[in-house]
Chain A
Amino acid sequence: ILNVEQSPQSLHVQEGDSTNFTCSFPSSNFYALHWYRWETAKSPEALFVMTLNGDEKKKGRISATLNTKEGYSYLYIKGSQPEDSATYLCALNTGNQFYFGTGTSLTVIP
């Protein structure tokens, strides 16, 4: 069992604020790091799959970075909007196995 930790557990920000979350994972057995967005009453949806140390990926106002040597990834949201309210999950992929963190719950206040 590998421990994937996400912080903070929850976050409230004002509309327009930028924010970021952290995902920490054991750097041994690393194959890939996944980020998912999970809205209430829906299923998790993939944001990014990151494999290389130093990787940076961007999708609109959301971006992510990866440091496999120290075992962490950051997810950034620029200019948060109410529709960004969701739980953001990261998952360590060690090949065929996946280990999910408990998520960061983001609420964007209009």
Chain B
Amino acid sequence: NAGVTQTPKFRVLKTGQSMTLLCAQDMNHEYMYWYRQDPGMGLRLIHYSVGEGTTAKGEVPDGYNVSRLKKQNFLLGLESAAPSQTSVYFCASSSGSGSEQYFGPGTRLTVT
């Protein structure tokens, strides 16, 4: 079991470029989440999904889009990257809304 994996691990983008972060889980979890981690702040929820084909906004969704076409994958897209999106992005999954979350290793994104 790989658990939760994230691709890529690191990325540098220029302002205005686009990219997609991939999260994959092999635990057959229904729920998946995308968070960002910034210095001095707690993990903040960007978007989440409660099942294949569903997505919903979290606390800080602006500037991001997501898709959950397959149960095991949750994609986070940045259409036009901004320096304010420089952050470490974590994906997580869980079996239910109140269940413990399993986190991926994170993706460090720098937007110059």
Chain A residues at the B interface, C-beta cutoff of 8 Å: 1, 4, 31-32, 34, 36, 42-46, 49, 51, 89, 91, 93, 95-103
Contact = CB atoms under 8 A, between A and B. Distances in A.
Contact of A97 (B40, B58, B100): B58
B42 A46 contact: no
Interface in B93-112: 97-106
Contacts of A49: 98-100
A102 B43 CA distance: 7
Contact of A4 (B42, B97, B106): B42
A46 B102 contact: yes
B42 A97 contact: no
Given A44-B101, A46-B100, 5 more contacts: A4-B42, A36-B101, A43-B103, A99-B59, A100-B42
Given A43-B104, A102-B41, A93 B98 contact: yes
